[in-house]
Homo-oligomer: A and B are copies of this chain.
Amino acid sequence: MAQRIRGVLAPVLTPFKADLSPDLERFVAHCQWLLSQNCGLAPFGTTSEGNSLSVDERADLLDSLVAAGIDPSRMMPGTGCCSITETARLTSQAVQHGCAGVLMLPPFYYKGVGEEGLYRYFSEVVQRVGDARLRIYLYHIPPVAVVGITTGLVERLLKDYPGAIAGMKDSSGDWNNTKAFLDAFNGFDVFVGSESFLLANMRNGGAGTISATANVNPAAIYELYRRISEEHRKAGSIGEGLDTAVADAEGPTPREATARLDPEDLQAKLNVVRDLFFEKYPMIPALKQAIAIYRNDPAWTKVRPPLVELTAEQAKGLKAEILKH
């Protein structure tokens, strides 16, 4: 069995043209930059406005990324839709491209559905895809999807599909929930949805993080991941897996100042950057605004409705705060 992916992944922001169509050139460039920062790619996630794209647009974009030379083995595209048919279609495509895995939302239209219905849904998708290379990361994000992933569901799925059910992304924002999954299962890779839990997750056997902020702060987040991995290696307890890092020679080297910091300090620094984006501003427009600032490229601010870009005043405030860091 191929090694499973570990480390830091970004739910890749999707740039749009003025007519709201996806901007492939900017998308590829952003993916290349993230990869160069030791950051894997989770395109079509929540931060990616993945569900604001049609299924055809998602399929075309994934084909285009691969055609542009983006390495599928460092990709975990979001493929969870409300319909089994569409989820199976996007998942099959990702598997055929040799993607490291897929990040799969539960069907999120009907609320209050039970464990049995969700089990049947995921089970049906696994059977329709019917490929031993399939690696599903269940996506738990109750503040957005409302429908969530429970330990009872994972237990049933793992029992019946131990190869296909690879892990989860926990975006509950609740460490007790993450801990419950870490404690309950072996061979089930838990990624936290916020790097603010990265240290805790790694010290408790987690696999890394898939975090929105990795779009703008990937190297620093990876540095914390690398440190703890090193601790584990020294202790002989490292989990097996394919690191999201590029080969050492190519990747960014941590600044000397960072190299002297404790993991706890690295974590504290990550939290400051994260808070900058999450406390004051709507997160996705703020991240796009930040890329527009870093790249001096205003086209990056475009979002698809129902999202709305930052106001001029918000953009100015964000810029001032970014320059402070």
Contacts and interface: CB of A to CB of B under 8 A. Distances in A.
A117 B306 contact: yes
Interface in A26-64: 46, 51-57
B120 A84 contact: no
A305 B117 contact: yes
B85 A124 contact: no
A12 to B, nearest CB: 17
Contacts of A118: 305-306
B52 A55 contact: no
A304 interface: yes
Contacts of A82: 51-52
A111 interface: yes
B146 A305 contact: no
A308 interface: yes
A286 to B, nearest CB: 14
Nearest to A114: B308
A116 B124 CA distance: 38
A110 B306 contact: yes
Interface string A64-97: 0000000000000000011111100100000000
A113 interface: yes
A107 B305 contact: yes
Contacts of A236: none
The residue among A20, A55, A85, A305 with the most chain B CB atoms within 10 A of its own CB is A305
A121 interface: yes
Interface in A296-315: 304-308
A108 interface: yes
A318 B107 CA distance: 27
Nearest to A52: B83
A144 interface: yes
A121 B55 contact: no
Nearest to A116: B308
Contacts of A144: 109-111
Interface of A: 20, 46, 51-57, 81-86, 89, 106-111, 113-114, 116-118, 120-121, 124, 143-147, 304-308
- Those 3 A-B pairs whose CB atoms lie nearest each other, nearest first: A117-B306, A120-B305, A121-B305
